[in-house]
Structure formats: structure tokens, C-alpha cells
A = this chain, B = another copy of it.
């Protein structure tokens, strides 16, 4: 745990008997009924209201990531809800715990890779080729590339890149992502899908969201998706079916001591 060097302070909230201030703005006078949820999220996290373009990018990211069907985290949420229906928050928390390095971590890693390309003094094209070769030679998974279900292209990437054009933010990060895709196809000798993590990372970089905060936005919209699963589970329970299917799919293996 890090010791605070200066006086311990927080800017998020203060209140008195008649008013509440969030980051210096009067919640009741300036925020409720005046700003929407997306603006409030951006404001609470970053301390300033988003521009129209920033708001559009955050909305696009939130809409893209919210719902993934019966993915592992949604299954965890539904099973926990069925075992402890008195604590909806626990079911959502269980699913969020699955939003770890494998799924949401790639967003950060993709952003990091794009940053390296953008900051390379040799220029985007040359840097993209260098990175593609490096990952290939080291046989490491390329963050933001490949998808088990969407081929040859991830429709979300196509859409997000088109949106970047519409919003006029198709800058060096989007360019780096596209150059990397060209370089990857050449170096690997086949077309590899640019997945939604890569294109989302590019758009978030374009509007200046620090990469360490990206997982935060992702967690917010995943929690919304998990709530939708709990709500469906309330009226249309799947937990028993899932649990039974899991049991049936796995057979017993005689014990071997470790």
C-alpha cells in the first residue's frame, strides 16, 4: 500500500445539509436533469465534461462492449444469482470478477502497442512492421488481433473505424492500427482479424483516455450487461440448464495424487 506523501484529499464529493457537490458542481442544480449518464461518468472519472466527440466515443465503446451473450462472466452471474437471489449485487460482482486480463486486459495491451507505434521516431509504417515481426518472432499473442467467431473481419471494428471517420478523429492511432493490420497480414502470411479490443483502444487513444483507465470504462459497461442477464434470469432461469450441461459435459477421472 502506498503512503500518501501530501495531505490526504479527494475531489469527488462534498456536501452540507442542503447541497451536494460532485467535483465542485452542485449535484441538484447543475447535474441532475442536465447531464446524461455518459457525461456524468466521464465527469466523475476525469473531472471535466466530455466534448460531443468524446461523448460519442464513450457511448460507442459502452454500446459495443455491454452484451456478450452467455460468455463465462454472464454464466457466473446467472449461477450465482440462482444460488443467492437475495443478493443481486453479488451476482453482478461475480461476473465482473471475470473481467480480467484475458478479456479486458487486451484493451490496455492493444492501447500500449498502438502507443509504441505512434511514438516510434521511425514513423508509423516502419514501427508497425517492426512490431508485427517482433510478436511473430517471439511467438507472443498479438493484443487486439484474432477472434474465434468473427472472420475475416470483426464487424465491430469495421463499424468503429467508420465512426472514427464520421467523428473526424481518425488520427495516428487509428492509422497505426490499420498499418499494423497490413504489416501483420504480410508477416504472418495470412489475414488476421483486427478485433474490437484493437479498434476500441484506437478510438479511446484518439480522444486521450489514459490506457490505465480504459479497463474502468469497460467494467462499467460490463456491469450493465451482467445486470441484463440477471434480469432475464429472474423471469427465464437458465442456471439449472447450464449447471446440468456442465455436469454432463465433464466425466469423472480416477484420482491421481499430485
Contacts and interface: CB of A to CB of B under 8 A. Distances in A.
Contacts of A29: 159
A123 interface: no
A70 B240 contact: no
Contacts of A243: 1, 70-72, 75
Interface size range of chain A in the complex: 35 or more
Contacts of A17: 149-151
Interface stretch (A97-105, A109-117, A137-145): A97-105
Say how many copies of this protein the assembly contains.
4
A184 to B, nearest CB: 19
Contact of A215 (B73, B80, B88): B88
Interface string A133-165: 000000000000000011101011011101100
A8 B237 CA distance: 8
Contact of A159 (B32, B86, B224): B32
Nearest to A88: B215
